[in-house]
């Protein structure tokens, strides 16, 4: 990060405009008053970060404007303390709007000054206004793609619950059981009331949510092997995966909350897709005439009298109108 002359300058507080992309909306008045008292005694110990722009105004000549990038809390406290000038470092070059937003987010994240909803709204602006993918947002703010995606999911909660989260009345962990009940609004509101009035911890809230959802009844129908597979798929894909077993076969349901999530899931499937030339070396070979096999069709140009051993059907190659028995992992059973 380059700064003008690598020096600290003193600038009048009234000449510094706030950052229009500041993601932080709430500033605790008591905390600001405490910081203002400290500034009266010791001054501003850490410089603010600003940009400098020269503007030509008719009849006034060239005027210099400063726009805040980082340090709005210090600027507000300095004004409360009655300080006329504050130390600043000036970023050299022109910063576009996205860079201003990124810098403001990063500064707040490093100080842990953003509440979860302000953070999610800031990520949403990077996605919606600047077209960044979740993984790109994560790289810019030093977080994982899952961290960004999980933050954005909180914006699916009703406004009342978002406000409670922003005000610290519920924790970020409480959003997980609430999001489990998105398709059950009445039960979701009841759980929210229980959390806020009875001060439930996250674990108790999750247990209540599971009692409401049919997960426990559904899991009773699954074998230990399928439960393990469900857990492994959830960990691998980074989103909730549910296996529903039927009398014959079943289906896999994969939750996603955005196109970016779906693209990430598709990428994982592509990375783990078997090679066309891969053959199970340990599978026993059987001499089965192609014409007698109801599941396989002869390859184009292949003679029906070929004595070559038949290969096992690849993923999704079960015969038309007949589902391969036990073919739980057929791509047709995947439902997103």
pLDDT in tens, 229-271: 888 888 788 777 888 877 777 888 888 777 888 888 888 888 8
Show the tokens assigned to 332.
């047709």
Please name the residues in contact with 253: beta carbons below 8 A apart, sequence gap of 6 or more. 241, 242, 243, 244, 335, 336
Which of the four pLDDT bands, split at 50, 70 and 90, describes residue 293? very low
Question: What letter does residue 49 receive in the DSSP assignment?
Answer: E
pLDDT at 220 over 90: no
- Band of pLDDT at residue 331, cut at 50, 70 and 90: very low
Place of tokens 């079960």: 318
Q: Residue 295 pLDDT > 80, yes or no?
A: no
Give the CA-trace dihedral at 231, 234, 240, 241, to 10 degrees.
-70
Active site residues: 72
52 pLDDT higher than 50: yes
- Output the average pLDDT for the chain: 75
The model scores a pTM over 0.75: no
For the stretch 180-197, pLDDT in tens is 898 889 999 999 999 999
Q: What is the pLDDT confidence band of residue 322, given thresholds at 50, 70 and 90?
A: very low
């Amino acid at each position: 990060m380059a700064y003008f002359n690598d020096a600290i300058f003193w600038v009048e507080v009234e000449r510094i405009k706030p950052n229009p992309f500041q993601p932080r909306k709430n500033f605790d008045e008591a905390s600001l008053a405490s910081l203002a008292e400290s500034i009266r005694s010791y001054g501003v110990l850490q410089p603010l970060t600003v940009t400098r722009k020269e503007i030509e105004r008719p009849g006034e000549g060239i005027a210099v404007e400063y726009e805040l990038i980082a340090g709005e809390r210090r600027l507000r406290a300095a004004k409360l303390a009655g300080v006329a000038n504050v130390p600043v470092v000036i970023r050299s070059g022109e910063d576009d709007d996205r860079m201003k937003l990124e810098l403001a987010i990063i500064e707040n994240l490093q100080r842990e000054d953003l509440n979860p909803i302000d953070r999610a709204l800031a990520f949403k602006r990077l996605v919606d206004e600047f077209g960044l993918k979740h993984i790109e947002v994560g790289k810019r703010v030093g977080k994982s793609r899952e961290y960004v995606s999980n933050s954005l999911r909180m914006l699916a909660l009703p406004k009342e619950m978002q406000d409670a989260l922003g005000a610290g009345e519920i924790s970020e962990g409480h959003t997980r059981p609430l999001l489990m009940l998105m398709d059950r609004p009445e039960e979701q509101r009841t759980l929210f009331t229980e959390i806020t009035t009875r001060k439930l911890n996250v674990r108790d809230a999750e247990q209540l949510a599971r009692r409401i959802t049919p997960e426990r009844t559904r899991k009773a129908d699954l074998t230990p092997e399928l439960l393990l597979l469900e857990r492994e798929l959830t960990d691998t894909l980074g989103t909730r995966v549910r296996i529903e077993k039927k009398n014959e076969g079943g289906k896999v349901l994969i939750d996603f909350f955005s196109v970016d999530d779906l693209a990430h899931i598709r990428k994982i499937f592509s990375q783990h897709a078997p090679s066309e030339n891969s053959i199970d070396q340990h599978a026993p070979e059987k001499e089965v005439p192609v014409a007698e096999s109801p599941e396989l069709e002869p390859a184009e140009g292949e003679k029906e009298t070929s004595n070559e051993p038949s290969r096992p059907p690849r993923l999704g190659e079960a015969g038309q109108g007949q589902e391969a028995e036990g073919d739980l992992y057929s791509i047709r059973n995947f439902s997103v």
